[in-house]
């Protein structure tokens, strides 16, 4: 590996200004006004950071960076003749320091566009200001993982975290569950450490879908076991002023109430008048800015969540076909309102899961491992009785321990890895003190889903370097084509002949040359730079509905399988368009930004 560029904080110097003027003087259609307006804006914002970058003792470049939005405002080599070859090293150094970043560039600046796309940035939005057209370039998360996973977190996590692991007897009576839960909380400092007398306590379970009941009996591993929720309420009652059990179902968003009734959550309110059950999908909202504005500047949070004094996160020990696992980090997706859930796919789910944890800071995360779920989780997998509870104050450390108990490396889950790389918590065993049962004593490997992305006769899947997000969601959809074709039942739908042929591209690398005469589908932010060469399925990963619509459009005679309530999804899609349009960016970002074949990297 070549040596890293070195960044030093600098200032908006006259040399930088001269170079800034020179650079834009050579781009057609850009006048001096643009340079003056931007320079003035930088001077007005004290947070704007200027870095000088050097490589092997040689001064290489300047970066003007906005830490409030994680945006590269400007990046310039020291002189016109110093090649752009150093810029990827300079960006590497910036990302090592600031983690996932974005950049704003002028649409007319094709040279910058080309090297940024080659690095792994993608044009996710276009907009106009001051009479000029701009592109927002978002870094592909898959590229970020590839380039930076070996380097570790942007900021070293300073503390050693404690995670408690508590066995539960296999008989799992209500008393045994409560005793184990009490032991676990005592190992972490006792309930009074987390809930002050009279405090508003909020429990966030996982109540995602109705798949977990058979003949009126809960089979386990799909939703948080209600016996654990009851046990926690009993422990909280002597201390808390109020206890709210709150969830917003993630699949059919209007059905949280039905899910509560299905699993008996609605009866929790009968335990005491201090207890209530709230559907977060219908709650009032309050807007909060995202620290460092990564991918989204702000998020709307349910008031019930925002007003809680202490939040106890109660996920289930389960596999997720796209996120690797659905544990403490993933469980807070359910705390967001429907439009935010939908938008988080569009703007980048992994980053938004980390963002949620920066906005909603759970005091405690306790994973329900009474019965976990292996194989094709989070709803269609197989229950696996584990008789364990795993808890701690840091969600990354809790997930890392839980994943090791499941026989998985914590870096296999994109949201856990991203949370770690962005300094939310540690995954290194030496930085996590495990108390109670040792990991080895309770560990039992979870079967992972086999993702089948095999191509069909005329449908070719190109999935180089894609992370499990796009792979998982594509598998989910493509699997529905592995059934007999009603036009010719001796073959599968995926083997239906197509002329022209069909290609589905996912992941940041595209080693095959794209033929625009064929039918091309491009998945996710990683493939957004090819949007103009076919149909783009936006998102990171694209929402299952978006992929399903994109692929089943090729089979107009076949009824599209149901994922969630289509009218609800259509409503959310319309709302998202309105949000984008209100920012004056809608039409173009929906359409995708199409480069020519020359920029097919
Ligand atoms: S989910 Fe898809 S778009 Fe997002 S980083 Fe992974 S491969 Fe790229």
Question: With 80 as the cut, is the pLDDT of residue 601 above it?
Answer: no
Domain of 573, CATH number, reads 3.40.50
What are the φ/ψ torsions at residue 551 (nearest 5 degrees)?
A: -85, -40
Domain contains 450: no
Nearest residue CA, atom 6 of ligand 1?
467
Within-domain flag for 451:
no
Note whether residue 27 is domain-resident: yes
pLDDT tops 60 at residue 585: no
**Residue to mutate, 102, 466, 542, 547, ligand 1, most ligand atoms under 8 Å from C-beta:** 466
Reduced to 3 states (helix: H, G, I; strand: E, B; else coil), residue 247 is strand
- Residue 540 Cβ < 6 Å to ligand 1: yes
In this predicted structure, the answer to whether residue 174 has a pLDDT above a threshold of 70 is yes
How many angstroms does the Cα of residue 336 sit away from the middle of ligand 1?
A: 21
What is the number of the ligand 1 atom nearest to the C-alpha of 527?
3
On the question of a cis peptide bond just before residue 500, with omega within 30 degrees of 0, the verdict is: yes
30 near 132, Cβ under 8 Å? Answer: yes
Find the mean pLDDT for residues 461-481: 96
pLDDT higher at 142 or 249:
142
Which whole number is the average pLDDT over 72-98? 90
Tell me which of 120, 141, 351 to substitute to probe ligand 1's pocket, judged by most ligand atoms within 8 Å of the beta carbon: 141
**What average pLDDT does range 515-528 have in this prediction?**
97
**Alpha carbon of 205 to ligand 1 centroid (Å):** 27
pLDDT band, very low/low/confident/very high, at 583 (cuts 50, 70, 90)? low
Q: What is the pLDDT of residue 582?
A: 67
pLDDT at residue 28 in the model: 86
Tokens found for residue 353: 């899961």
The number of the ligand 1 atom at minimal distance from the alpha carbon of 469 is: 1
Q: Can you tell me the mean pLDDT for 537-560? A: 94
Q: Does the pLDDT at position 184 exceed 90?
A: yes
Q: Do 357 and 493 reside in the same domain of the chain? A: no
**Alpha carbons 126 and 589: distance in angstroms, whole number:** 6
Span 266-271, average pLDDT? 98
Asked whether residue 32 falls in the same domain as residue 147, the answer is yes
Mutate to test the pocket of ligand 1, among 147, 323, 352, 524 (most ligand atoms within 8 A of CB): 524
Ligand 1 contact, 507 CB (< 6 A): yes
305, 246 contact by CB (below 8 A) = yes
Q: Going by C-beta distance under 8 Å and a sequence separation of 6 or more, which residues neighbour residue 471?
A: 322, 451, 453, 463, 506
Residue found under tokens 């290194």: 428
Q: Is 493 in the same domain as 555? A: yes
Residue 454 located in a structural domain: no
Cα(134)–Cα(258) distance, rounded to whole angstroms?
Answer: 46
The CA angle 459-464-467, to the nearest 5 degrees, is 110
DSSP 297: S
Distance 169 CA to ligand 1 centre (A): 41
State the pLDDT at residue 151. 83
Structural domain harbouring 521 = 459-599
Evaluate: CB of 322 within 6 angstroms of ligand 1. Answer: no
Q: What is the mean pLDDT of residues 150-177?
A: 93
Ligand 1 center–CA 143 separation, angstroms: 9
* Residue 468 Cα: closest atom of ligand 1: 6
Dist. CA 73–CA 101, nearest whole Å: 11
**Residue 142 belongs to a domain:** yes
The minimum-distance atom of ligand 1 relative to the CA of 540 is 4
Nearest-CA residue for ligand 1 atom 4 is 540
Q: In Å, how far are 20, 26, 32, 191, 596 from 36, measured between CA atoms?
A: 10, 16, 6, 58, 32
- The structure tokens 């409560």 sit at 178
For residues 131 and 228, state if they share a domain: no
Summarize pLDDT for 196-247 with one digit per residue, the tens: 999 999 999 999 888 888 888 999 999 999 999 999 999 999 999 999 999 9
Binned at pLDDT 50, 70 and 90, residue 596 comes out as very low
Looking from the CA of residue 506, the nearest atom of ligand 1 is: 7
Q: Is residue 538 part of a domain?
A: yes
Q: Is 141 in the pocket of ligand 1 (CB under 6 A)?
A: yes
**CA 209 to ligand 1 centroid distance, Å:** 25
- Measured in Å, residue 215 CA sits from the centre of ligand 1 at 39
CATH number at residue 117: 3.40.630.30
Identify the residue with better confidence: 2 or 411: 411
Q: Is 470 in the pocket of ligand 1 (CB under 6 A)?
A: yes
Evaluate if residue 131 carries a pLDDT over 80.
Answer: yes
Looking from the CA of residue 524, the nearest atom of ligand 1 is: 3
Count of structural domains, the chain: 3
- Alpha carbon of 542 to ligand 1 centroid (Å): 8
Task: Answer whether 463 contacts ligand 1 (Cβ < 6 A).
Answer: no
475 Cα: distance to centroid of ligand 1 (angstroms):
14
Q: Is the CB of 202 under 6 A from ligand 1?
A: no
- Are 316 and 435 part of one and the same domain? yes
Counting residues of the chain whose pLDDT is more than 70, the rounded percentage is: 94
Q: What is the tens place of the pLDDT at every residue in 389-411?
A: 999 999 999 999 999 999 999 99
Name which of 126, 122, 125, 124 is nearest 143 in CA terms.
122
Neighbours of 114 (CB within 10 A): 15
Question: Does some domain include residue 104?
Answer: yes
pLDDT per position as a tens digit, 416-467: 999 999 999 999 999 999 999 999 999 999 999 999 999 999 999 999 999 9
Residue 83 has a pLDDT of 65
* CATH code for the domain of 292: 3.40.50.11440
Q: Is the CB of 537 under 6 A from ligand 1?
A: no
> Between the ranges 44-58, 249-263, 565-579, 580-594, where is the mean pLDDT highest?
44-58
The Å distance, Cα 486 to ligand 1 centre, comes to: 33
**Apex CA 513: angle with CA 507 and CA 519, to 5°?**
80
For residue 391, what are its two tokens?
A: 């808890």
Q: Which residue among 388, 416, 442 closes a domain? A: 442
Question: Which ligand 1 atom is the nearest neighbour of the CA of 140?
Answer: 5
pLDDT band for position 560 (cuts 50, 70, 90):
confident
**First-to-final CA distance of the chain:** 22
Q: What is the pLDDT of residues 337-350, one digit of tens each?
A: 999 998 999 999 99
Same-domain status, 230 and 346: yes
> Do 484 and 550 fall into the same domain?
yes
Beta strands in 400-538 (DSSP E): 432-436, 459-462, 484-485, 488-492, 502-505, 519-523, 535-537
531 located within any domain = yes
Q: Is 551:505 a contact under the CB 8 Å cutoff?
A: no
Lowest mean pLDDT among 36-50, 139-153, 429-443, 492-506: 139-153
Q: Among candidates 263, 127, 146, which has minimal Cα distance to 580?
A: 127
**What is residue 255's predicted lDDT score, i.e. its pLDDT?**
84
Q: What is the DSSP letter of 466?
A: -
Same domain flag for 416 and 318: yes
508 and 592 together in one domain:
yes
Give residues with Cβ within 8 angstroms of 217, minimum separation 6.
none
Is the dihedral angle over the CA atoms 102, 105, 109, 110 positive or is it negative? positive
Averaged confidence pLDDT in the chain? 92
Radius of gyration in angstroms for the set of CA atoms belonging to the chain, rounded to a whole number: 25
Between CA 206 and CA 107 the distance in angstroms is: 44
pLDDT at 356 over 80: yes
The answer on 409 and 484 residing in a single domain is: no
| CB-based contact 351:312 (threshold 8 Å) | no
The confidence score (pLDDT) of residue 592 equals 36
Do residue 90 and residue 216 come from a single domain?
no
From 96, 123, 151, give the residue that closes a domain. Answer: 151
232 alpha carbon – ligand 1 mean position (Å)? 37
Asked if 137 and 107 touch (Cβ cutoff 8 Å), the reply is no
371 Cα–ligand 1 center, Å: 30
Same domain? For 383 and 499 the reply is: no
Distance, CA of 186 to CA of 256 (rounded, Å): 32
How much is the pLDDT for 599? Answer: 31
pTM for the predicted model, two decimal places:
0.93
Q: Between the CA of residue 206 and those of 140, 267, 367, 442, what are the distances in Å?
A: 29, 16, 10, 23
pLDDT higher than 50, residue 587: no
Residue 563: predicted pLDDT? 63
How far, in Å, from the CA of 526 to the mean position of ligand 1? Answer: 6
């Amino acid at each position: 590996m070549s040596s890293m560029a070195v960044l030093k904080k600098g200032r908006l110097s006259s040399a930088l200004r001269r170079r800034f003027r020179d650079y834009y003087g050579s781009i057609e259609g850009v006048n001096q006004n643009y340079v003056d307006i931007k320079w003035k804006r930088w001077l007005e914002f004290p947070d704007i950071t200027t870095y000088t970058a050097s490589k092997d003792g040689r001064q290489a470049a300047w970066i003007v960076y906005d830490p409030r939005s994680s945006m590269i405002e400007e990046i310039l080599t020291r002189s016109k003749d110093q090649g752009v070859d150093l810029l990827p090293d300079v960006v590497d150094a910036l990302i090592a320091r600031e983690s996932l970043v974005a950049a704003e560039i002028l649409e007319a600046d094709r040279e910058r566009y080309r090297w940024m796309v080659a690095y792994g940035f993608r044009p996710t939005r276009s907009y106009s200001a001051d009479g000029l057209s701009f592109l927002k370039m978002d870094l592909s998360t898959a590229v970020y993982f590839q380039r930076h996973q070996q380097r570790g977190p942007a900021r070293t996590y300073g503390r050693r975290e404690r995670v408690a692991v508590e066995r539960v007897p296999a008989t799992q009576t209500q008393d045994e569950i409560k005793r184990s839960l009490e032991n676990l909380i005592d190992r972490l400092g006792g309930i009074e450490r987390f809930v002050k007398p009279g405090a508003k306590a909020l429990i966030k379970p996982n109540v995602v879908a109705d798949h977990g009941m058979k003949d009126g009996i809960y089979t386990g591993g799909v939703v948080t076991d209600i016996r654990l929720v009851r046990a926690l309420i009993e422990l909280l009652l002597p201390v808390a002023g109020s206890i709210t059990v709150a969830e917003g179902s993630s699949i059919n968003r209007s059905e949280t109430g039905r899910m509560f009734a299905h699993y008996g959550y609605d009866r929790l309110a009968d335990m005491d008048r201090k207890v209530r059950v709230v559907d977060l999908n219908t709650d009032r909202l309050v807007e909060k800015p995202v620290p460092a504005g990564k991918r989204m500047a702000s998020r709307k949070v349910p008031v019930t969540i925002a007003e809680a004094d202490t939040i106890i996160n109660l996920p289930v020990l389960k596999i997720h076909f796209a996120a690797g696992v659905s544990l403490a980090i993933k469980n807070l997706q359910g705390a967001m309102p429907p439009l935010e859930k939908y938008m988080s796919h569009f703007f980048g789910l992994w980053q938004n899961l980390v963002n949620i944890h920066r906005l909603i800071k759970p005091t405690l995360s306790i994973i329900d491992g009474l019965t976990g779920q292996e194989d094709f989780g989070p709803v269609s997998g197989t229950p696996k009785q584990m008789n364990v509870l795993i808890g701690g104050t840091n969600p990354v450390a809790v997930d890392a321990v839980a994943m090791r108990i499941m026989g998985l490396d914590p870096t296999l889950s994109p949201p856990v890895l991203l949370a770690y790389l962005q300094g939310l918590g540690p995954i290194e065993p030496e930085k996590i003190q495990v108390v109670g049962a040792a990991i080895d004593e309770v560990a039992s490997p979870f079967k992972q889903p086999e993702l089948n992305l095999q191509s069909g006769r005329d449908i070719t899947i190109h999935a180089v370097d894609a992370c499990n997000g796009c792979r998982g969601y594509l598998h989910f959809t493509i699997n529905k084509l592995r059934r007999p074709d009603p036009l010719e039942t001796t073959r599968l739908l995926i083997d239906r002949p197509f002329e022209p042929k069909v290609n589905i591209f996912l992941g940041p690398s595209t080693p095959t040359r794209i033929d625009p005469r064929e039918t091309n589908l491009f998945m996710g932010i990683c493939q957004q730079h090819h949007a103009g060469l076919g149909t783009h399925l936006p998102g990171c990963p694209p929402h299952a509905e978006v992929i399903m619509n994109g692929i089943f459009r090729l089979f107009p005679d076949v009824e599209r399988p149901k994922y969630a309530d289509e009218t609800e999804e259509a409503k959310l899609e319309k709302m998202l368009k309105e949000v984008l349009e209100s920012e004056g960016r809608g039409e173009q970002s929906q359409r995708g930004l199409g480069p020519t074949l020359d920029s097919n990297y």
